[in-house]
Chain A
């Protein structure tokens, strides 16, 4: 039974590939699957793009119906597209004094403004129209003040978000470094030595991850308050480190298992101590695993919400709970929330991008051994 009626590919095959994959029908199938893939990617990316647009919208535009999705900047790329002639009631084009048609913005276009992007970083106070006028003439105002003044608000100081973003960086960064470092040492020991009760220990380590955070937050809250680490950086770093440790031990053990012992043994007979062999031979080869583990630990610690909400209030509060509470300040400030969300994405994206080569190798690591 012939699967293909046609007699072969349209052009000569000059690469190493299986017969059925170069067949015209297979290639057509590939094209269809590519299109489906691209569509799926667009669907997945849509929320991110939408949030990114929201950052630059005015407060009414964020909730406008129908939604506005074409950015309009004066004399910008899409400005011609966004303008249409205004019509009179009778349907004729409205003309101004010089006989030129009067233009108005299409309803799907929004004005690009920076008030949301800037507003995130400052505490603001609403002004009366008179106050607004008074401040408009003040030559001491900076560019940020002027942007917000247009909205009738005055900057009174930096917002909490700046501090909380910094908290997130410190807590997530430090706990990631610590959990990868400790995890590496533990994984090396588990991989190389005959530790008594090894399977039980490994299972115990994994089991710390099995409880949902919600279940342990109350006891943790009580313990933390007693110990005086409630709402402290140390407390949060400790918590995230321990929580990530199970993950990093297991993941890194897999990677270290893949590094043949012979390398260390060669270093040992070459005159190095165990620690030197670890540092000079094992560590450079575990880079892939370390990179992959770092990204995963960072993503967890960076995104963690429940613990932070319950175990911090102000000093050590991280960004995720504060983004959620931003909306409480005088109505829904979608642009500000969007700005916070976008900013929040950046560190993980940067780290993942920086380590992408190692990640790709990490995914296929161990699949093929020479």
Chain B
């Protein structure tokens, strides 16, 4: 197991940055998720760690050893591909044994380790089959077994669940988490699915437009997004973001709504906002319905989601919509007037010019 360090690692295609200079330290045994929309550079970053993509600048260290220009086969890392990349001309057994043969592991020892792996992943009955005849979930288990059997220093996964059905994805997610805990393998996992990222990651690296937007635990990324992108991207739906104007402890929102800023935020807002323009953010579950709430909205649509009801409210005109989570029995007719408050602990503010989140105390 190993520590992975990226120092100013970047990737350019021509003049275009696929990954802007990036610093990241992945601790021994940590599970780090690279999360972002497609084309954000997360897969490129992973491929640079594996050596399948050459860096344009910077250095990569594995346990302090500079591996930046080492051949992929010399890095002692394992890679799980989105489409599994199981060798179709070999049986499951040969597939899993393949990396061991490269290392020159003795046949008896290899046999033992393959047996160990297939037992752990419960695929003993598939050994003699070819990948073509396996289900998606089993293919992924075989791919995981092939990656783990070598006991690599680090374990890289590129959207390994992307090709699976929704319900299978959930159970495989749990399996990957257990495997990670059992093997204490340093893991880097790429996904565009924020639910997967939240569920699996010890830390999440949110990327967009070739840049790291935020690095933090799932809770940090969810509750304290560093900027508008993270606020929008994390959560489903994302954070409600409403443009407003701050003056004298009040944010004026569309529809003549006045939002009383909690005391703890007033100093920060007054100091960091030059012209009073501000974006107010809150999660759907931070919107609290109450008959004497200070904010009002009209019901634009309601979604029954099983455990709860999602209310889509229009503030003022229909151009500003917010999502508020309500108890599941709540059922308003369309256009009904709804009053609500925002949990003062969960409200967030963003500077519309820098798009960055304002931090309490920082500006004081």
Interface residues, chain A, with chain B CB atoms under 8 Å away:
260, 262-263, 265-273, 276, 280-281, 284-285
Instruction: Check if A285 sits within 8 Å of B83, measured CB to CB.
Output: no
B50 located at the interface, meaning its Cβ lies under 8 Å from any Cβ of chain A in the complex: yes
A265 to B52, CA, bound (A): 7
**Is the pair A271, B99 in contact by a Cβ cutoff of 8 Å?**
yes
Per-position 1/0 for B155-188, Cβ under 8 A of A: 0100000000000000000000000000000000
Q: Which residues of B contact A280 (CB under 8 A)?
A: 98
Chain A residues near B52: list those with CB within 8 A: 265, 268-269
- Flag if A271 contacts B85 (CB, 8 Å): no
Q: How far is the CA of A260 from the CA of B99 in the complex (A)?
A: 19
Which of chain B's residues have a CB closer than 8 A to the CB of A284? 87, 89
Binds A, one of B70-78, B190-198, B242-250, B328-336: B70-78
Cα(A243)–Cα(B75), bound, Å? 43
- What secondary structure prevails in chain A residues at the interface with B? helix
State whether A269 and B51 are in contact (beta carbons under 8 Å apart), knowing that A260-B83, A262-B81 are contacts in the complex: yes
Interface contact B85-A265, CB-CB below 8 Å: yes
**B102 interface residue (CB < 8 Å to A):** yes
- Shortest distance from the beta carbon of A206 to any chain B beta carbon, whole Å: 29
- CB-CB contacts of B36-63 with A at 8 A, as 1s and 0s? 0000000000000011100000000000
Interface membership of B88, Cβ < 8 A: yes
B98 touching A270, Cβ below 8 Å: yes
Judging by beta carbons under 8 Å apart, are A273 and B73 in contact? yes
Asked if A281 and B87 make an inter-chain contact with CB atoms under 8 angstroms apart, the answer reads yes
Contact B99 A270 (CB under 8 A): yes
- Tell me whether B103 is interfacial, beta carbon within 8 Å: yes
- Are A266 and B89 CB-contacts (below 8 A) given A271-B102, A271-B103, A272-B73? no
- Cβ–Cβ < 8 Å partners of B87 in chain A: 263, 266-267, 281, 284-285
User: Are B88 and A268 interface neighbours, CB within 8 A?
Assistant: no
Chain A residues with CB under 8 Å of B98's CB are 267, 270, 280
- A268-B72, A269-B72, A269-B78 as given contacts; A262 in contact with B89, CB under 8 Å: no
| Additional A-B contact list (12), CB under 8 Å, known A262-B83, A268-B71, A272-B102 | A262-B81, A265-B52, A266-B79, A266-B85, A267-B87, A268-B73, A269-B50, A270-B78, A270-B99, A270-B146, A276-B102, A281-B87
Contacts of B78 in A (CB 8 A): 269-270
Nearest-neighbour CB distance to chain A for B131, whole angstroms, equals 11
- Is B348 an interface residue when CB atoms closer than 8 A count as contact? no
**B52–chain A nearest beta-carbon distance, Å:** 5
Chain A proximity mask over B124-147: 1 for CB below 8 Å, otherwise 0? 000000000000000000000010
B203 at the interface (CB under 8 A from A): no
Question: Which residues of chain B come closer than 8 Å to A263, judged between CB atoms?
Answer: 85, 87
Which chain A positions have C-beta within 8 A of B99? 270-271
Which size class do B's interface residues fall under? 20 to 34
Chain A residues positioned under 8 Å from B73 (CB to CB): 268-273
Of all chain A residues, the one with the shortest Cβ separation from B84 is A262
Q: Is the CB of B75 within 8 A of A269?
A: yes
User: Which residues of A sit under 8 angstroms from B102, Cβ to Cβ?
Assistant: 270-272, 276
Q: B79: which A residues are within 8 A, CB to CB?
A: 265-266, 269
User: In the assembly, what is the distance between CA of A266 and CA of B156, in Å?
Assistant: 11
In the complex, which residues of chain B have a beta carbon less than 8 angstroms from the beta carbon of A281?
87
Q: How far is it, in angstroms, between the C-alpha of A176 and the C-alpha of B33 when the chains are bound?
A: 51
In contact, A285 and B88 (Cβ under 8 angstroms): yes
| Residues from 87 to 127 in B contacting A, C-beta threshold 8 Å | 87-89, 98-99, 102-103
5 residue pairs bridging A and B, Cβ less than 8 Å apart:
A262-B83, A265-B72, A269-B73, A270-B78, A285-B88
CB distance from B165 to the nearest CB of A (A): 14
Contacts of A267 in B (CB 8 A): 87, 98
Chain B residue, CB-CB nearest to A283: B89
Q: Is B150 an interface residue (CB 8 A)?
A: yes
- Inter-chain CA distance A269–B99, complex, in Å, is 8
Residues from chain A with Cβ under 8 Å of B81 in the complex: 262, 265-266
B166 to chain A: closest CB distance in Å?
18
Report chain B residues within 8 Å CB of A272.
Answer: 73, 102
Considering the chains assembled together, what is the distance between the CA atoms of A265 and B99 in angstroms? 12
Given A269-B72, A269-B73: A285 in contact with B89 (beta carbons within 8 A): yes
Shortest Cβ distance from residue B13 to the other chain A in the assembled complex, whole angstroms:
11
Q: Which of B51, B52, B85 has the most CB of A within 10 A?
A: B85
Chain B, residues 300-336, CB within 8 Å of chain A (1/0): the string is 0000000000000000000000000000000000000
The residues in B between 211 and 258 inclusive whose CB is less than 8 angstroms from any CB of A are none
Contacts of A265 in B (CB 8 A): 52, 72, 79, 81, 85
* A79 vs B50: C-alpha distance when bound (angstroms): 78
Q: How far is the CA of A287 from the CA of B224 in the complex (A)?
A: 55
Closest to A263 in B: B85
Chain B residue at smallest Cβ distance from A285: B89
A285 vs B86: C-alpha distance when bound (angstroms): 12
Please tell me if the beta carbons of A269 and B77 are within 8 angstroms of each other in the complex. yes
Chain B residues near A262 (CB, 8 Å)? Answer: 81, 83, 85
CA distance in complex: A40, B150 (Å) = 59
A334 to nearest B CB, angstroms? 49
**Chain A nearest CB, measured from B347 CB (Å):** 46
A270 touches B88 (CB 8 A): no
**Chain B residue with the shortest CB-CB distance to A369:** B83
Q: Report A-chain residues with C-beta under 8 Å of the C-beta of B77.
A: 269
A260 partner residues in chain B, CB cutoff 8 A: 83, 85
Distance in angstroms from B54 CB to nearest chain A CB is: 12
Return B231 CB to nearest CB of chain A, in Å.
34
* With A260-B83, A262-B81: A271-B88 Cβ-Cβ less than 8 Å: no
Nearest-Cβ distance from residue A157 to partner chain B, whole angstroms: 51
Residues of B within 8 A of A271 (CB): 73, 99, 102-103, 150
- Measured between C-beta atoms, what is the minimum distance from A368 to chain B in Å? 13
In the complex formed, the residue of B with least CB distance to A269 is B79
Q: Which residue of B lies closest to A281 (CB)?
A: B87
Give the residues in chain A near B83, CB-CB below 8 Å. Answer: 260, 262
Bound-complex Cα distance A273 to B79 (A): 16
